[in-house]
Amino acid sequence: MKTNDYVKYMTQTLVKYADQPKDERKRLRKERKQAKAAFWYRWFGILPYVVYTEVKNRKKG
């Protein structure tokens, strides 16, 4: 990708972001955050995540 193409892409992305209403930006940010896997799962895999959720659920109930 040439420098000129990159500048054009970044400008388009910035303008697209700036044209969105504030509510839309907040909604998209919230959706991305919810779609991201939990910290325990991302860093340590499925087994520690299951143990963590079980312990968390037992404390609630």
How is residue 59 written in tokens?
Answer: 């404390």
pTM to 2 decimal places: 0.45
Tell the burial category of 18 from Cβ atoms under 10 Å away from its Cβ (0-12, 13-18, 19+).
exposed
CA–CA distance, 35 with 56 (Å, rounded to integer): 21
Q: pLDDT band for 48, please (50, 70, 90 cuts).
A: confident
How is residue 23 written in tokens?
Answer: 């509510």
At 61 the pLDDT is 63
- Domain boundaries, given as residue ranges, for the chain: 3-60
Identity of residue 29? R
pLDDT tens track for 32-43 = 888 877 776 777
At 33 the pLDDT is 85
SS3 45: coil
CA–CA distance, 25 with 12 (Å, rounded to integer): 16
